[in-house]
Amino acid sequence: MKRTSIIPHADLNAWQQNGDYTHERFGKGYRMASSFEIPIAANGRCDVRFPNRCVGCGAAATTESRIILAKLVMRKQRQVPIKVQLQVPHCQACAQATLSLFWIGLIPSLLGFLLAGGLVFVAVFVGANWLGLDTYGRPQDAPSLVLGAFFGLLAGLAGGFLAELLTRLILWPFMGRSMLRAPLLVAQLLSDGEYIPGLRATLKQDATQLQLTFENDAIASEFATQRQAAGIDPA
């Protein structure tokens, strides 16, 4: 297991001034992000054991949040599905924040996608048809339909991105920094990672490594100590 510590550039001065980057609760103050790279077996299993504390704020864990990562990778000249599932300890507040972030991302993204994508699809389809694009080639090819679908998809992704971004900026004063820390839903769908309060999980190196990034360095230290005590990693 490889571990690295990352101090966000924007927070470096504050961290140096405060002298304490590890003992603030989630959503307040500054903390150092610690990353671990854990091997993934060919069947998608990896040995991950979290401390029995909330990964977000460090309080006693009362429930769990689920992270599911899936990817198609090439193994011996054929595509193989790799699926990694993690049960992450959370307190009730951080678990509720996880659900809130999901719905805050899904609803505006879906509405933005349907609205922007639908309008652009109709406009391009009607415009291309009116310009006579369908008179070229075979009628069953329907080039105006293909063109409309292509630009509609691009506009839908952009519309979903902007709608979620605007929603987060509006809710930022009420829900705190988690609105800005969590990647936008469109970005998560296009990547191999997932975020929940306190933890980011990403598939690396063609799904042979799982990268876990803890926002709370105290939890990260417990995670590393626990793995060493269990003999998973060398001391």
pLDDT tens by residue, the chain, 235 residues: 555 444 333 333 333 333 333 333 334 333 556 888 888 877 777 888 899 999 988 889 999 998 888 887 777 777 778 888 889 999 998 888 888 888 888 899 999 999 999 999 999 988 887 877 766 666 666 778 888 899 999 999 899 989 988 888 888 777 666 666 777 777 777 677 888 888 888 887 777 888 898 988 888 888 888 877 766 665 5
Q: Taking a C-beta distance cutoff of 8 angstroms, is the pair 125, 147 a contact? A: yes
Q: Taking a C-beta distance cutoff of 8 angstroms, is the pair 63, 82 a contact? A: no
Res 71: pLDDT: 81
Residue 161 resides in a domain:
yes
Res 150: pLDDT: 92
Could you tell me the pTM of the whole model? Answer: 0.64
**Can you tell me which residue has the tokens 């306190």?**
198
Beta strand pairing status for 78-90 and 33-39?
unpaired
Residue 234 resides in a domain:
no
Q: Maximum distance among all alpha carbons in the chain?
A: 72
Number of domains into which the chain is organized: 1
Residue 235 resides in a domain:
no
Res 117: pLDDT: 93
Residue 185 resides in a domain:
yes
- Amino acid at residue number 221: S
Q: Residues 6 or more apart from 46 whose CB is under 8 A from it?
A: 38, 39, 40, 84, 210
Q: Please, what is the Cα angle at 56 between 50 and 201, to 5 degrees?
A: 60
Residue 88 resides in a domain:
yes
Residue 205 resides in a domain:
yes
Q: Taking a C-beta distance cutoff of 8 angstroms, is the pair 6, 35 a contact? A: yes
Whole-angstrom Cα Rg for the chain: 22
Residue 73 resides in a domain:
yes
Q: What is the dihedral of CA 93, 94, 95, 96, to 10 degrees?
A: 50
Q: Taking a C-beta distance cutoff of 8 angstroms, is the pair 56, 31 a contact? A: no
Exposed, middle or buried by CB within 10 Å (0-12, 13-18, 19+), for 46? middle
What is the secondary structure of 32-81 as a DSSP string? -EEEEEEE--TTS-------SB-TTT-SBP-EEEEEEEEEEEEETTEEEE
46 is in which domain, residue-wise? 2-229
What is the per-residue burial (b if ≥16 Cβ within 10 Å, else e) of 95-124? bebbeebeebbeebbeebbeebbeebbeeb
Res 25: pLDDT: 35
| Six token digits for residue 218 | 């105290």
